[in-house]
Amino acid sequence: MTEPATTAAGGIALYKLGAFGCMAALAAVVVMALTIPKTVKEFVVSLICTLVGSIGGGAALIKAFGLMAWADDVFGLCALLGMVFACGLPGWVMVRGFFAYAEYRKGGKNFIQMMTDLITVAKAALLK
């Protein structure tokens, strides 16, 4: 017979992991509704980057600010899931921006030239 305490702890941990996954998926759905990709390849890459950005970025943000104790409370968990949701949005925007830029610059420029242009624009934007 299994221990009730370890089974309950495992169930709670699984519940929290599922909640984080749902928020990451919700972030992906929201941004997909805003900017619909043109091809299946763009859709898959954007979806993967959104989920990785949500889960990885949210975890890094929670760890960096030491907010792990918030997961003990329902309201704290909701706040953490909001942060996870918000961390997924930049991933989608960056990938969609790259695809739009690549489509725009398709005529005659190679990847190295595109990256050089991106770095030049980023430096100019950051130095202003």
Structure tokens given for 97: 């921006």
pLDDT the model gives residue 9: 60
Domain that holds residue 66: 4-127
Distance CA 78, CA 67 (A): 12
Helix, strand, coil percentages, rounded to 5, for the chain: 85, 0, 15
Distance CA 63, CA 125 (A): 29
What tens digit of pLDDT does each residue of 79-95 get? 888 888 888 888 888 88
pLDDT the model gives residue 17: 59
* Total domain count, the chain: 1
Distance CA 60, CA 71 (A): 15
How many C-beta atoms lie closer than 10 Å to residue 12's C-beta? Answer: 11
Complete DSSP assignment for 81-94: HHHHHHHHHHHHHH
Q: Tokens 């519940």 belong to which residue?
A: 15
Among 3-7, 42-46, 60-64, which is the least confidently predicted range?
3-7
Of the candidates 87, 84, 72, the residue with the CA atom closest to the CA atom of residue 13: 72
Give the mean pLDDT of the chain.
77
